[in-house]
Amino acid sequence: MADFPAITPTSMSFTAPEFPVRSNTSLGGVVSRRLFGSRGSRASVRLSFENLPDSSAVEFLDSWNLSRGTLNVLVIPEALFNGAEESLKNYLRAGGDQLAWHFAEAPQIERVVPGISSVRVTLEATRDA
């Protein structure tokens, strides 16, 4: 496990977990759907952190390295979902269905001016064995 930086994002976009549903269309055009599990997985959140000091931006790289990229589970701090109502905050913290958060890809850092950077991070919540 690795700690995700306790920095409140300037923007966030959350996608709820997907359910394992398969659909088939018959020759007559009838669509049938089948659920292959009762719990969702693979929620995602895209986070933006604007105008951070470079010392804060490097915290995301440290977290990426400690989690071995997308491999290990992240410990999500309270600050990540600051500003959300408590019920939404609880839902987001659990990835929507008691899921574990991981990096979905490497953090992206953009220099704004010397010493100030913006960071973009995408996390994925999955059901781990």
Q: What is the pLDDT of residues 62-121, one digit of tens each?
A: 999 999 999 999 999 988 888 888 888 888 887 777 889 999 999 999 999 999 999 999
Residue 109: the pLDDT is 97
d(CA 111, CA 105): 19
Mean pLDDT of all residues in 43-56? 95
Would you state the structure tokens that stand for residue 128, as one six-digit string? 């781990």
d(CA 89, CA 64): 23
Number of structural domains (the chain) is 1
**What DSSP state is assigned to residue 104?**
S
* pLDDT band per the 50, 70, 90 thresholds, residue 1: confident
If DSSP states are collapsed to H, E and C, what string results for 56-83? Answer: HHHHHHHHHHHCCCCCCCEECCHHHHCC
Mean pLDDT of all residues in 16-43? 87
d(CA 100, CA 42): 9
Residue 129: the pLDDT is 63
Residue 89: the pLDDT is 86
d(CA 129, CA 62): 25
Parent domain of 53: 2-126
Q: What is the pTM of this model?
A: 0.83
Mean pLDDT estimate for the chain:
91
Residue 12: the pLDDT is 92
* pLDDT band per the 50, 70, 90 thresholds, residue 26: very high
The contacts of residue 86 (CB under 8 Å, 6+ apart) are none
**Residue 24 identity:** N
d(CA 25, CA 85): 41
The alpha carbon torsion through 47, 11, 110, 6 (nearest 10 deg) reads -60
* pLDDT band per the 50, 70, 90 thresholds, residue 36: confident
